Amino acid sequence: MAVDPLEFRTIIGHFATGVTVITTCDGDKLHGMTANAVSSLSLDPVMVLICVDKTTYAHGVISDGGVFVVNILGEHQETLSRVFAKKGEPEVGSLRGQPYRLGETGAPILADCLAFIECRVANTLDGGDHTIFLGSVVSEGVENDNVKPLLFYRGGYHTMVG
């Protein structure tokens, strides 16, 4: 019996996740996308993985540029998450008007995010309609330790209580 993709989406929506914006660059072209398909992968070497829809602009920019940053969002950044959840083309010298600084790889790190993990693409795997990008961590940091994380659960944004 085949699994209904819409039913699966509803079921997996019961798994609460953190919210991130994946930022990337290819030369002077900058791009970002909201994502929650992110996971730590390895401590030796230190690696993370992200899953990116093959039809998105971000997929092409990450593939061509070979770098990405996982920007972990705080509870105060729901609007920022929504900005990057909308489709938009890569820009030269701008990141949808959002403040950022460039990391060691040249990929943008969003201002005032909770924390970030900057990576070089080490490998890719096929994941159906997504590509799994395995990233070797080159830098990381906590940017704003005074806020709680932004969460996504059952199709909506939430914050931690307590």
Q: What is the pLDDT of residues 57-107, one digit of tens each?
A: 999 999 999 999 999 999 999 999 999 999 999 999 999 999 999 999 999
pTM over 0.75: yes
Q: How many CA atoms lie within 13 A of 144 on its CB side?
A: 17
3-state secondary structure of 16: coil
Q: How many CA atoms lie within 13 A of 46 on its CB side?
A: 7
Distance between first and last Cα of the chain: 43
Q: Which residue blocks in the chain are alpha helix, DSSP H?
A: 5-12, 57-65, 78-85
Q: Which residues lie closer than 8 Å to 13 by C-beta, 6 or more apart?
A: 153, 154, 155
Predicted confidence band of residue 1 (pLDDT cuts 50, 70, 90):
confident
For the cut 90, the answer to whether the pLDDT of residue 162 exceeds it is no
Q: For residue 27, which phi and psi values (nearest 5 degrees)?
A: 65, -125
19-146, CATH topology level: Pnp Oxidase; Chain A (2.30.110)
Q: For residue 154, which phi and psi values (nearest 5 degrees)?
A: 50, 45
CA–CA distance, 32 with 114 (Å, rounded to integer) = 16
Closest CA to 56 of 129, 134, 119: 129
| Chain position carrying tokens 């993370």 | 48
